[in-house]
Structure 1
Amino acid sequence: MVKQKTIQNEVSLTGVGLHTGKEVKMTFKPAPINNGYTFVRVDLEGSPIIEADANYVVNTQRGTNLEKLGVKIQTSEHVLAAFVGCDVDNVIIELNESEPPIMDGSSKFFVEAIEKAGIVEQDAERCYYVVKEVISFMDEATGSEILVMPADDYQVTTMVDFGTKVLGTQNATLKNIADFKTEISDARTFSFLHELETLLDNGLIKGGDLNNAIVYVDKEISEKTMNNLKVAFGKEKISVKPNGILDNLTLHYPNEAARHKLLDVIGDLALIGTRIKGKVIANKPGHYVNTQFAKKLSKIIKIEQRNQIPVYDLHKEPLMDVNKIMAMLPHRPPFLLVDKILEMSDNHVVGLKNVTMNEDFFVGHFPGAPVMPGVLIVEAMAQTGGILILSSVPDPENYLTYFMKIDNVKFKHKVLPGDTLVFKCDLISPIRRGICHMQANAYANGKLVAEAELMAQIAKKN
């Protein structure tokens, strides 16, 4: 079992946003299990949170930009790539501006900050999406294509071709994510001269200088353009090196552009929200095609997870029988709706109920066509979750469990006499101050029959 990881201590960096030109402070903080990557705008009232989720992508011009309820995060990809490359699952990224600092245009300084903060394992299993067949997305307008195919580990290959002599065709491959730091993290962002002219004319690259972007000179530089570049970058002299890039930078690799595109792919695909076991091949990747692919894969994963039915041995010795359950829960027949607890950990519990024709509720609930009431399925899931939360205190017999909130309840199929219901409750966040927030699912006959997001609190008996 591979465990989730977060950072051990908080750490901060300061710098300038590439497109905003504003000074920004960014702080990485440890996060609880299943948090994923979350951005927090501490400069705004209420410190709103924007999850690193592909569904929040609103713009991919010059970077991957997120927006949730009007709150924006610009150019998220380099920071996210660093956390994936450092094998970190959960982190809170605080910003006092909309854009992380560009630093040198790579992920190098973010990786160094993560290593300085330290990395620790957490008491929860990391989830993977195992790719079983080829999944692809193509942008017909540009010919860009990205696909993922089955593989034992996460691998990425990028191939770039900008149709220019100065850059030509390049490719890069990362076979092991553990090599991200040494092979990919210091690959810097790049631009072509013709793009730079447009960006400068429109005030879209205020924090750029020749130290955080490789500029490929793909056209003759006019005297006017040269003067504009001198002013924009605060340089008295600018020239073109023999390899076709503006001076003040030395390439780290002959294929640095392809390596940076690979870095971008890793950062953009972090928005899927689930680790991948598969090989990604990206031909002429860009933020648009990357994030469209991330949205597609995220949707596929969610559908499969929703329809994935866990399998349990219903005949093996239960962790708790009905007598042990009654020693912990205050409920009694006919309102005790859990017969067995099959398994339990610090963050999940699995319970079981055999539905029979002898249930009291069948007397009045559709007597001619008996169906278990949906509200009682929710109650049964809550009782199963109650076992989990009561197990967190040394004297559960002295506590009662109360509902605080029920969200996103869905009933998928009828539950009939003779069915065996299996309930699985997973913590959404750690239990704190006796409050339990969990995702609850109910299964019967190899199908998901009900689901709900439940919040409950335990309180001492009067």
Structure 2
Amino acid sequence: MAEKVSKQKTIQNEVSLNGVGLHTGQEVTLTFKPAEENTGFVFKRLDLEGSPVIEADVNYVVNTQRGTNLEKNGVSIQTSEHVLAACVGLEIDNLIIELNASEPPIMDGSSKFFVEALEKAGVVEQAAEREEYVVDEVICYHDEKSGSEIIVMPAEEYQVTTMVDFGTKVLGTQNASISHLSEFKDEIANARTFSFLHELEALLEHGLIKGGDLNNAIVYVDKEIGEETMEKLRAAFRRDKIAVKPNGILDNLTLHYPNEAARHKLLDVLGDLALVGTRIRGKVIANKPGHHVNTQFAKKLAKKIKDSKRNNAPKIDFSQKPLMDVIDIMNTLPHRSPFLLVDKIYELTESAVVGMKNVTMNEPFFVGHFPGKPVMPGVLQVEAMAQTGGILALKSVPDPENYLTYFMKIDNVRFKQQVVPGDTLIFKLELLAPIRRGICQMQGYAYVNGKIATEAVLMAQIVKSK
């Protein structure tokens, strides 16, 4: 998908932070742990039975009212964005994020402490190549209710610009930008979350901001404060005195930048777009961003990326010698004629394989399958795809000739077009997760004439045969 080749990254050692969840008020320990290639970002709830995991996936977003909240099988993660922004900002790809509560610690309301912890753990390069979505057209999402809009356009790097305007004099109009992720640590990571006084009053009234204090949120005063409100704020923040500074924010906190609000919105955009699950090469421009519009845009972008993968037929130069011919394939797989359904392998990495089959009129199944109008049976297309996936699975063992792959499950099978004599089937299979305990899960596609003929999710088990 990308011309530039870069490697995936994780951390070298595990590292922990302690703090309080902003909305829950719960004490929480967060531990970053190294993760295998192609894992992505995974949250793990240690406080629940079985330590269930929730992948950082936009399809699990259930609520964006007070942060970006994820839920899978009844298990939730609240306000995920500041942690994920730190991961993206340091160009980390794979990470396990363990928690003993539902919400990460708010710390100072920024990503600063997460960045420091990850750097302390040491960012290391992995062997697998990083997948990157290269934006080749303008993709836009507009929210009519709020007037918010996010677009992404082609660019040489992952760049982000945010424009903030809440229609208030105290905050005004602000912009923030980064032209490369390397700028995140020094320019964006320490920008803290913010709230307007009227929002804060409503949250306090409903008991929805139990872990807040004046050290982890900038409070813009957009209305006159009466003594009754002052008393509530002093009680909520456990302080004897609270006052409004000349620049319109509550005291006990000094702005790091005049445009800190816009910088924090940029931080949120990076964290929310991490839920796409794929590195982006393009320029994001967000006008009045918020968690709702960010995640709606992320869903649209994730679908676009999925569609581009599905329709991205591998380009094969048939004049070049294949990586494996049929003799090599028979030395790896136990299948033989008439049930060997892969002719050549053209690409084979740790996480993906590309194979090919020429469909001829001499195939034995054409004798009885619609002999007047020969069509390759769909189940045999899936079998051919599975055999190609078997090559990928067996690459994980040092002596593949001594192993077999047994398919355990096939999901989401779709047949898009007929395969007939004279067609050339191209198979592409990619690991959906690292191979663990011999279990291999793959997304498979079969293409004819550059278009998808068949797709399926395959799960196989690698078993020693001797």
Q: CA RMSD in A?
A: 1.5
* Alignment of 1:48 onto 2:52: yes
Q: Residue type of the partner of 2:60?
A: Y
Match of 2:61 among 35, 57, 61: 57
1:427 offset after TM fit, Å?
A: 2.0
CA distance in 1, matches of 2:20, 2:238: 15
- Tell me the SS of whatever aligns to 1:393: coil
1:232 offset after TM fit, Å?
A: 0.7
CA distance in 1, matches of 2:162, 2:292: 15
1:59 offset after TM fit, Å?
A: 1.5
Match of 2:93 among 85, 89, 109: 89
CA distance in 2, matches of 1:460, 1:24: 44
Q: Residue type of the partner of 2:135?
A: V
Match of 2:193 among 185, 189, 196: 189
Instruction: Tell me the equivalent position of 2:291.
Output: 287
* Alignment of 1:405 onto 2:409: yes
TM-score under structure 1 normalisation? Answer: 0.96
| 1:321-332 equivalences in 2 (<5 Å) | 321-332=325-336
> What is the aligned-residue identity percentage?
75
* Alignment of 1:35 onto 2:34: no
* Alignment of 1:278 onto 2:257: no
CA distance in 2, matches of 1:142, 1:433: 48
Deviations 1:62-94 (A, max 9, x none): 211112222211111111111110101111111
Instruction: Tell me the equivalent position of 1:387.
Output: 391
- Tell me the SS of whatever aligns to 1:100: coil
CA distance in 1, matches of 2:227, 2:200: 15
1:428 offset after TM fit, Å?
A: 2.2
CA distance in 2, matches of 1:288, 1:324: 52
- Tell me the SS of whatever aligns to 1:112: helix
* Alignment of 1:139 onto 2:143: yes
Match of 1:352 among 344, 356, 361: 356
Instruction: Tell me the equivalent position of 2:232.
Output: 228
Instruction: Tell me the equivalent position of 1:159.
Output: 163
Deviations 1:26-68 (A, max 9, x none): 1111122222112122212222222222222221112111122
* Alignment of 1:320 onto 2:324: yes
Deviations 1:352-384 (A, max 9, x none): 111111111111111111111111111112222
CA distance in 2, matches of 1:327, 1:353: 17
CA distance in 2, matches of 1:398, 1:240: 74
Instruction: Tell me the equivalent position of 1:454.
Output: 458
Return closer, same or farther for 1:275/1:458 CA change in 2, 3 Å cut-off. closer
Instruction: Tell me the equivalent position of 2:373.
Output: 369
CA contact (8 A) 2:353 2:430 kept: yes
Instruction: Name structure 1 gaps, 5 residues minimum.
Output: none
* Alignment of 1:250 onto 2:262: no
CA distance in 1, matches of 2:276, 2:397: 36
Deviations 1:233-285 (A, max 9, x none): 11111112222211111110111111111111111111111111111111111
CA distance in 2, matches of 1:226, 1:182: 35
CA distance in 1, matches of 2:298, 2:325: 44
CA distance in 1, matches of 2:162, 2:330: 58
Deviations 1:157-192 (A, max 9, x none): 111122222211111111111110000000001111
CA distance in 2, matches of 1:84, 1:396: 37
Instruction: Tell me the equivalent position of 1:423.
Output: 427
